[in-house]
Amino acid sequence: MNSLMIYRDELQGFLKSKVFVILVVGLPVLVTGLRLAQPDLEGMSFFIFTAILIASISGTLGSVLLSTAITSERSRHVYELFLIRPVPRASLLLGKYFAALSALMIAVVVTLGVGLATDALAGRAGAGIVSAGLEPAVLSLAGIAVACSVGTLLGVIVDSVAVSAILSVYLGNQLSALAILPSALAPDLPVVAIAVAAGIVVPTTLLAIAVRIFARKTL
């Protein structure tokens, strides 16, 4: 079993999960309702607000899903079956991480697409409607990438599923803000560049730590 097969198996599992169904159905409905209601965002772009909302909800759920799944599988010695093959331990973690990230990316694209379509139908779409969705898409994905890496690390180092879930809700949400808060607090900054940097550097660092710890753990 190679890394690609692990990724595909994990992706199929995430796409069939109730969490994914909730996200891909619930988020577009929520965003559409908010867009039609036209809430007072005190000058903040609606799409930036959408990015923060998506990153917060999707990132938190993704972080919890990853951390509890890894913690639970470790406690049930599931990984022993893989390592008999043998399969590199890093492939097990990274396959699960990128599978979750891919599933959440689908939810992000669907949600932002519905938001843009709502604008178009309401006659609020300008000439740059597609480009208007690119910045929140990048911000959302960067925040989600950070949150999922937090969940992966917690799944490796925490032995209790309940504790893993609680820490994921708090830390995943808090650290994902590194990628998206600059867009809300200081819109004059290169927010996309900051988000991309945070969405690469933070997950890479946390995943490297997780892989290193996982490689030394007794399964």
Written as tens digits, the pLDDT of the chain (219 aa) is 567 888 888 889 888 888 888 888 888 888 777 777 766 666 556 666 777 777 778 888 889 989 998 998 888 777 766 656 667 788 888 999 999 999 988 888 888 777 777 666 766 555 455 555 677 778 888 889 999 999 999 999 998 999 999 999 888 877 877 777 666 666 677 777 888 888 899 999 999 999 999 988 766
Q: What is the pLDDT of residue 123?
A: 61
Do residues 197 and 179 touch, judged by C-beta distance below 8 A? no
Produce one character per residue of 24-61: b if its CB has 16 or more CB atoms within 10 Å, e if not: beebbebbbebbeeeeeeeeeebbbbbbbbbbbbbbbb
Produce one character per residue of 130-162: b if its CB has 16 or more CB atoms within 10 Å, e if not: eebbebbbbbbbbbbbbbbbbbbbbbbbbeebe
Give one DSSP letter per residue of 106-143, joined into a string. Answer: HHHHHHHHHHHHHHHHTT---TTHHHHHHHHHHHHHHH
**Could you tell me the pTM of the whole model?**
0.83
CA distance 137 to 127: 18
Cα torsion angle, 181, 196, 139, 13, sign: negative
- Closest to 102 in 3D by CA, of 20, 204, 190, 201: 20
What are the extents of the domains in the chain?
3-37+66-216
How many C-beta atoms surround the C-beta of residue 76 within 10 A? 9
CA distance 86 to 103: 27
Distances (CA, A) of 177 to 79, 84, 92, 148: 32, 39, 27, 13
CA distance 133 to 35: 14
Q: What is the pLDDT of residue 127?
A: 47
